[in-house]
Amino acid sequence: MTNLLDRRALLFGRSRPAADPVRPPGALPEAAFRSACDGCAACATACPAGIVRLDGGRRPILDFSQGECTFCAACTEACPTGALAAAGARPWTVRAAIGPACLAVGGVACRSCGDACGSGAIRFSPCPDGRFLPVLREEACTGCGACVSVCPAGAVAVRPTPAVLPLGRAS
């Protein structure tokens, strides 16, 4: 069966989804998540933003090409198996990344991602050659994906990053 996300990505000129899937907030650690998720699609149906999609194994992943995650927890509340649960969930370490296809890197005046970023994590820094290049402040990025769908070049991706420090530890 052809994966709907692969066809959608092809239609919009984007590559296949990353090998490390972005699960909805509240997902259990991957092994436990795969064991608990039965593919019922209740989470996808419940998502008011319409960004929860099912992968080839009928497990939920986030598709930011259609919008952003508002962290409303509707998917978590709809999950009957506990695969998406606040207790025991892995930390939300998902962050945006801006790739080399960015129009601003090529000298085109584009600030779409920065305009869409509600947390102010994407700023533009002036360069001596007159370009303004995007700078991602990872500590301010919520991983909501608002920057992804507005990028006309498909240069922004949201992906899991390693957890840096456990909560409560100072750096």
Q: What is the pLDDT of residue 169?
A: 41
Q: What is the pLDDT of residue 16?
A: 44
Confidence at 6, pLDDT banded by 50, 70, 90: very low
CATH classification for the domain delimited by 97-160, as one of 3.40.50.720, 3.30.70.3270, 3.40.50.970, 3.40.50.620: 3.30.70.3270
Q: What is the pLDDT of residue 163?
A: 58
The fold for domain 4-78 equals Alpha-Beta Plaits (3.30.70)
Q: What is the pLDDT of residue 15?
A: 44
Confidence at 18, pLDDT banded by 50, 70, 90: very low
Per-residue pLDDT tens over the stretch 77-123: 999 999 998 777 878 889 999 999 999 999 999 999 999 999 999 99
d(CA 65, CA 8): 9
pLDDT at 164 over 90: no
d(CA 159, CA 143): 8
Q: What is the pLDDT of residue 166?
A: 42
Q: What is the pLDDT of residue 170?
A: 42
Closest Cα to residue 24, out of 43, 42, 45? 43
Q: What is the mean pLDDT of residues 131-147?
A: 95
Considering Cα of 18, then 23, then 24, then 25, what sign does the dihedral take? negative
Long-range Cβ pairs for the range 130-134 (8 Å, 24+) = 131/104, 131/105, 131/107, 132/104, 133/104, 133/105, 134/98, 134/102, 134/104, 134/105
Confidence at 165, pLDDT banded by 50, 70, 90: very low
pLDDT at 28 over 70: yes
pLDDT at 3 over 50: no
What number of other Cβ atoms are within 10 A of residue 3's Cβ?
Answer: 15
Confidence at 19, pLDDT banded by 50, 70, 90: low
**SS3 category, 21:** coil
Q: What is the pLDDT of residue 90?
A: 79
d(CA 144, CA 84): 17
pLDDT at 144 over 90: yes
Name the β-bridge partners of 84: 27
For the chain, where do the domains classified as CATH 3.30.70.3270 start and end? Answer: 97-160
